[in-house]
Chains A and B, each alone.
Chain A
């Protein structure tokens, strides 16, 4: 096993070394060019490796996917708009779209608000206290999503009436002689979807907290000082000094979480499997690919993703432009 470990280590060093080598070569090339060329080419060289990777691994499959959305299940024959038509004709799919919309409306906002709260509050603690608080909030991120489903099983579980409840919520209810409630099967007012969103928030807030915390710490202290000297209260400082300066990060986190939520499927897949009106677009995509082997329909769903992300992109452009103007 030691031999294997050494081989692995060598492989790792080789990999990282190769990457550094690549950049060194690129820089060397750009330095060899005459000055005005160097200036113009350098930016493109800087983004070249990143762009190459993205083009091959994401852009190329994405284009292939768009093409496949017009083909049949194993991408052998053209079927035109059949995949789209079948999807949109199905009431089930339309219900799925609505559920996904619900997720998109609730989770990103909640995630940003909670992450910001933790970031700002923890910032005021002593370094040790802050580290502890942030580690606790971060912990769920370290659990894989399948692990998270197992974890929450012990909160949401429901046993037949009369049996000992092993889920925390139902156990609490039984103390008051109520329930049990089959939480994840109850779709009135989308309760089960909301409960699943809680699981995602439990995991995702760590993400927004880490980024927002970095941003909050990047706010130049002199601005805070100046405001304090001017007699502003802490709340005013937060709203009028801190928030505007981290606005860019808030938007970044918001957009990233929104896109993650659009694609989400693991949580739904391992808990309800999409039953009881909890199905979301990402889970449908997964079902089409892995159970039905219908690559055509799955591709159509991805195209729907890509179209749905356009409003988000438009918003990012606007932010971009306003940033540049400042």
Chain B
């Protein structure tokens, strides 16, 4: 392994190689034109609905109701009728969007980090330790995936009332943490079981405690799975409407999703605001996705297995 890397580096001495080397080194299979065209077609199809909505978010309700969104592309003369009004109403208006945004962040960040923390410990235990009831407990956790979170609303609300947590951020955190846990443990445990066991064994033989093995070996190697789950959990909590509505309710603590619903009338007037609002709330998860992409790299386990 190491030999190939040095040879590659020596052969092509461009500075870019230092990072790219890992990639091409790892997977010399290059993309042929079939691969490229399939992907391009797929991506184009994927984007069409979103482009349609993006265009619509800049149109007036009348225009959107009367002509197809593609008419803006096909008849460029209509470009002048595009407007920022939808965005202005969605972001301005009576609801304090800035506050709602801060609230959304305050709700989402802990609800993303903390389940990862708890779940990775649990996943580690399920993968690398032996204890009674391991299989049963794991299956119990996975089968909890099927329970819809709405059945928990009333029992948990009652519990919160007793404890005095109603309407606070921790009330939502704990809820999202618990419900994210099943999926997190499932994904993380699965990923951890693909890690080379020999490395873990040798670490144990060298006298490392569970804590050290976890912290120094397993966790760094599991970064792609952790990043995957972080993306999903962030997304899920960020876009959540119902849990926030039930546990926090409307008011000064409401996140962006609840604030946006206030824009619509009783019968759904203002649906054009949903298009604008939808894009606004979409930006942050996409940024998170892009930011976490750096963890999806090859070669984390390469080199770990020697000989």
A–B: direct contact at CB < 8 Å: yes
Whether A162 is near chain B, meaning CB under 8 Å from some CB there, is: no
B interface size (C-beta, 8 A): 125
Q: How far is the CA of A27 from the CA of B117 in the complex (A)?
A: 14
On whether the beta carbons of B64 and A306 are closer than 8 Å, the reply is no
On whether the beta carbons of A135 and B286 are closer than 8 Å, the reply is yes
On whether the beta carbons of A42 and B129 are closer than 8 Å, the reply is yes
**Which of A9, A151, A210, A255 is close to B231, meaning CB atoms less than 8 Å apart?**
A210
**Which of A122, A151, A255 is close to B50, meaning CB atoms less than 8 Å apart?**
A151
**Which of A4, A64, A151, A164 is close to B66, meaning CB atoms less than 8 Å apart?**
A164
On whether the beta carbons of A317 and B1 are closer than 8 Å, the reply is no
> Taking A50-B122, A154-B56, A323-B193 as contacts, is the C-beta distance between A58 and B224 under 8 angstroms?
no
**Which of A4, A60, A133 is close to B99, meaning CB atoms less than 8 Å apart?**
A4
Within 8 A of A (CB), among B31-83: 31, 35-36, 38-39, 42-43, 46-50, 52-53, 56, 64-70
On whether the beta carbons of B194 and A245 are closer than 8 Å, the reply is yes
**Which of B151, B194, B299 is close to A221, meaning CB atoms less than 8 Å apart?**
B299
Give A242-257 as 1s and 0s: 1 = Cβ < 8 Å from B's Cβ atoms: 0001101101100110
Whether B301 is near chain A, meaning CB under 8 Å from some CB there, is: yes
On whether the beta carbons of A302 and B50 are closer than 8 Å, the reply is no
Within 8 A of A (CB), among B78-119: 96, 98-99, 102-103, 105-106, 109-110, 113-114, 117-119
Q: How far is the CA of A43 from the CA of B99 in the complex (A)?
A: 42
On whether the beta carbons of B131 and A43 are closer than 8 Å, the reply is yes
Among B31, B134, B275, the one with the most A-chain Cβ atoms within 10 Å of its Cβ is B31
Q: How far is the CA of A4 from the CA of B156 in the complex (A)?
A: 27
On whether the beta carbons of A306 and B143 are closer than 8 Å, the reply is yes
Q: How far is the CA of A12 from the CA of B113 in the complex (A)?
A: 10
On whether the beta carbons of A121 and B191 are closer than 8 Å, the reply is no
Whether B248 is near chain A, meaning CB under 8 Å from some CB there, is: no
Can you name the residue of chain B whose Cβ is closest to the Cβ of A19?
B114
Within 8 A of A (CB), among B126-143: 126, 129-131, 134-135, 137-143
Chain B residues within an 8 Å CB radius of A121:
31, 35, 38-39
Among A12, A23, A46, A262, the one with the most B-chain Cβ atoms within 10 Å of its Cβ is A46
Chain B residues within an 8 Å CB radius of A8:
102-103, 105-106, 169
Chain A residues within an 8 Å CB radius of B257:
144
Chain B residues within an 8 Å CB radius of A143:
50, 278, 282
In the assembled complex, 10 residue pairs joining A and B whose CB atoms fall closer than 8 Å, in A order, are A61-B156, A133-B43, A138-B289, A144-B278, A207-B232, A211-B228, A217-B296, A222-B302, A256-B183, A299-B151
**A residues bordering B, Cβ < 8 Å?**
1, 4-5, 8-9, 11-12, 15-16, 19-20, 23, 27, 40, 42-44, 46-47, 49-51, 53-54, 56-62, 64-65, 117-118, 121-127, 129, 131-147, 150-152, 154-155, 164-168, 171, 202, 207, 210-211, 213-215, 217-218, 220-222, 224-225, 228, 234, 237, 245-246, 248-249, 251-252, 255-256, 259, 262-263, 282, 285-286, 289, 298-299, 302, 305-306, 308-309, 313, 316-317, 320, 323
